[in-house]
Amino acid sequence: MTSKERVLTAFANREPDRVPINYMSNPGIHRRLVEHFKGRDLLEALGVDFRGVGVPYTGPRLHGEIPGRSVDPEWGIHTRWMEHGSGGYQDFCDFPLRDADEEAVNAWPMPSPDDYDYGGVAETCRRDAAFAVHVGDPGLGDIINSTGFLCGMERVLEGLLTADPAILRLVDRRLAVRLEVTRRTIEAGRGGIDFVWMGEDLGSQNLPLISPELYRRHLRPRHQELVDMAKSFRLPVMVHTCGSSSWVYGDFIEMGITAVDTLQPEAKDMSPAYLKRKFGGRLAFHGCISTAGAVAFGTTGEVRDEVRKTLEIMMPGGGYCLSPAHQLQDNSPTPNVLAIYETAHQYGRYNR
């Protein structure tokens, strides 16, 4: 099978020739892997079946620079660089709309869908025609995190609970832009895009982040717009959600979502066996390989054991794509990361 055929077969809950494979990483471990393969294309070396396509922003800078901060020119999100023992990351800070009312939200500069360059999408799709090409990522359609980047998590959760007009207006303004940019990107792909990847973090390690009722009141109708847009192009949808989130999978099935991503196996009701037993055949799965367990802190043998056991549970009947549950972290030893992919290729083939 081609990579495209392999992924779409798994998304249809059938058995491909082997389990599809994906890759996500932080910059530090990514650099080490690139160095390890000495000039070879990293995704090809790992046997990755997925590719993404996006559109660059070409409009004016909408938000000015601030000393000591990185300010996103499109949305005005503030971050600062934070060091840790194995590297660093951009930490969200300041939250410029923390105290904003509806008038301030309406005045906040946001990009226009006209301010993106769609001209390279078709060529990217042609170049990657053998692979499963997605538009979007775990941040597409996201409401809680993305709104929190601008006004803080506490304000977002309070705003959803109280139906704060300012918070709901901020959510809707941002989603309208992202939805239209995604629609135009799919059109520009001329049939070369295979699925839409969206996301919404809905779980802590042990509990739902919000109640099912609150999800259905505010988030589900807005997510449904993105799902329906994808379906109008006959594209499957994969949704990312971290933590203990299987409580919402019934809603995903009703909404017409095809696949679920992340699948943190250490979170409550997220073990491969639980997910396969309860949702196998109704949802396809993408993830399950923990970035907080053996990959970061174990031996290569322990990584191989974890990957092999996951495959034994998730492979039967199809419907599984192997991937890290989140971006591979910089504290993951290079040999452990390589062991994920070596084991997947060794044990991920279906008997024919």
pLDDT value at 352 more than 70: no
pLDDT at 174: 98
Write down the mean pLDDT value for the chain: 97
- The percent helix, strand, coil of the chain (3-state, each to 5) is 45, 15, 40
pTM above 0.75, yes or no: yes
The whole-number average pLDDT for the span 32-61 is 97
Domain residues of the chain, as ranges? 3-56+111-347
Other CB atoms within 10 Å distance of the CB of residue 335: 12
pLDDT in tens, 317-338: 999 999 999 999 999 999 999 9
The whole-number average pLDDT for the span 100-128 is 98
The whole-number average pLDDT for the span 183-206 is 98
pLDDT value at 245 more than 60: yes
pLDDT in tens, 21-45: 999 999 999 999 999 999 899 999 9
Other CB atoms within 10 Å distance of the CB of residue 70: 14
Q: Categorize the per-residue pLDDT at 87 as very low, low, confident or very high, splitting at 50, 70 and 90.
A: confident
The whole-number average pLDDT for the span 208-216 is 97
CB-count burial class (<10 Å; 0-12, 13-18, 19+) for 269: middle
Q: Categorize the per-residue pLDDT at 215 as very low, low, confident or very high, splitting at 50, 70 and 90.
A: very high
pLDDT in tens, 119-141: 999 999 999 999 999 999 999 99
pLDDT in tens, 157-176: 999 999 999 999 999 999 99
- Residues above pLDDT 90, as percent of the chain: 97
CATH of domain 3-56+111-347: 3.20.20.210
pLDDT at 171: 98
Residue 129 CA to residue 20 CA, distance in Å, equals 16
**Both tokens of residue 150?**
């601008």
